[in-house]
A and B are shown apart, each in its own frame.
Chain A
Amino acid sequence: VITITRAPPYLTVQDCGRSHSRASGVPQGGAIDSFAIRAANALVGNQVDVAGLEWALGGGAIRFEQDSVFALGGANARATVSGRAVAPFTTVHARSGEELVIEQISSGRFLYLAVNGGIDVPSILGSRSTYLPGHFGGYQGRMLKTGDSLALGSASGAPADGFHCGADLLPRYGAGIVHITRGTHSDLFDESAWRTLTEDEYRISVASDRTGYKLEGASLANAAGTLPSEAGCPGSIQVPGDGFPIALMADAPTVGGYPKIAVAAEADLPIIAQRSPGETIRFELITIEQSQRAFKRRASDLHTITQLAIRSSR
């Protein structure tokens, strides 16, 4: 069991999301930085798809009610456990009664906490993810509050205290470069729109949340207006009437009628997710084959982290 002793402004249970209920209108959901939660799970000896906590907007504290192994990943935060500094993407062994204190998030947007055994909440439609707009999933379908206690699943062997995952195995969060492929409606945009999208910088608007990141910069002329609705996915870059693109994220509605000029490579979605309002990103066009190669490389990096973590425990 872990107890939220001081809840941050945003804290939810998330895993890798729901991939079989889109036809019922259920968004994929899950951790908005799907790499960070998987890597954090690997660092504590969990299967990568078990549930952890997604944390944002400020500091807080959590008490371990049993001896636990945990890891933080994603955003960078000043964090301590009983006064010892906690480094990102590092395995930490904590004793029962110890408290993890996150003072503040210093860079990035969403921080993940994985605990060995995983957060044990009911699985709904194949996932333990919280879907806040629908009030279901996670812990009672809501954000976690101070005083909430969460059960943990049964843990197996954990990696060694201090095991650290090298930066070469992580997405290049700092660079802000996001690779894109042509979207289903890319033909509805002329060459000048494409030049603008791939040559200009875009700034993350304050109107950005788990459903989508609104981008500010040069507007893209959209001759198509609105189209008959069809499915999109996290990473779809759609262009509403005002010409300012929106990158759809984890909780985006399953269907929409704005033309999609491009799709962000799944491997680079964590890079968008971790950009805060005011920070910039730059798009680079690649082919679908390149995008799928990058996706496989990310999966292979995760596999490497898992293998190294297992070896550290021997």
Chain B
Amino acid sequence: MRIPNVEDIVPAYLALTVFYDALHVSYEEMSRRLLDACERPTQLRGAGIKPRDHRIPVHYDGADLDAVAAATRLSPGEVIARHTARSYTVDLLGFVPGFAYLSELDPSLHLPRRPEPRPRVPAGSVAIAAAQTAVYPLDTPGGWHIIGRTETVMFDPSRDPPALLRAGDTVRFERAL
């Protein structure tokens, strides 16, 4: 089942935002269609998007790796081992195109964001902050701790969908050879 007049759907932590064509359907009517769909979720299944598992190879030579090791009282090797040990879930995308927030970083690696964001973090940088980890998909300003880099293209506007990751997917980082 597809809900007519829906243009875009954006999942997030506690909200699912639906964009629709308000010229052809009213707020009231769209609310009714969405609530109906929620009451009959089985009819939506099958049309649904299956989460995918991704493996992303990382060169762990980030500018902040030693600082992260010092701040967490771990060796750089141990930081890498703990970052690669877990499978992360994509909570949502945003901030910039293709930026996926990956949750449930090992608690021993939790650090507040850097006090001074960098004006330019290169695309492909693998970073951590608080309970999350992410790959910067574009050259952007950023305040997370950079522990490595990947050659995997996280965002490419010439493909559709342009982002490699979707909310609900899982990601495992691997040490690149």
Residues of B within 8 A of A22 (CB): 8, 10, 19
Assess the A253–B94 pair: CB atoms within 8 A: yes
**CB closest chain-B residue, reference A298:** B23
For window 264-283 of A, CB contacts with B under 8 Å fall at: 266
Q: How large is the interface on B (under 10, 10 to 19, 20 to 34, 35 or more residues)?
A: 35 or more
Assess the B99–A25 pair: CB atoms within 8 A: yes
Number of interface residues of A (CB under 8 A): 34
Interface residues of B: mostly helix, strand, loop or mixed?
loop
Residues of B within 8 A of A134 (CB): 96-97, 138, 155, 157
Assess the B12–A230 pair: CB atoms within 8 A: yes
Q: Measured between C-beta atoms, what is the minimum distance from B74 to chain A in Å? A: 29
Residues of B within 8 A of A296 (CB): 22-23
Residues of A within 8 A of B14 (CB): 228, 230
5 contacts between A and B (CB under 8 A): A22-B10, A25-B94, A25-B97, A124-B157, A228-B13
Assess the A230–B13 pair: CB atoms within 8 A: yes
A125–B167 CA distance with the chains assembled, in angstroms: 19
A268–B97 CA distance with the chains assembled, in angstroms: 27
Partner-contacting stretch, out of A62-70, A105-113, A287-295? A287-295
Residues of A within 8 A of B69 (CB): none
Cβ of B9 within 8 Å of any chain A Cβ, yes or no, is: yes
A24-B163, A124-B157, A254-B10 given; name 6 further pairs at CB < 8 Å. Answer: A19-B19, A21-B161, A134-B96, A137-B157, A230-B10, A296-B23
Cβ of A193 within 8 Å of any chain B Cβ, yes or no, is: no
Cβ of B153 within 8 Å of any chain A Cβ, yes or no, is: no
Q: Measured between C-beta atoms, what is the minimum distance from B157 to chain A in Å? A: 4
A136–B93 CA distance with the chains assembled, in angstroms: 18
Assess the A295–B12 pair: CB atoms within 8 A: no
Cβ of B146 within 8 Å of any chain A Cβ, yes or no, is: no
Assess the B19–A288 pair: CB atoms within 8 A: no
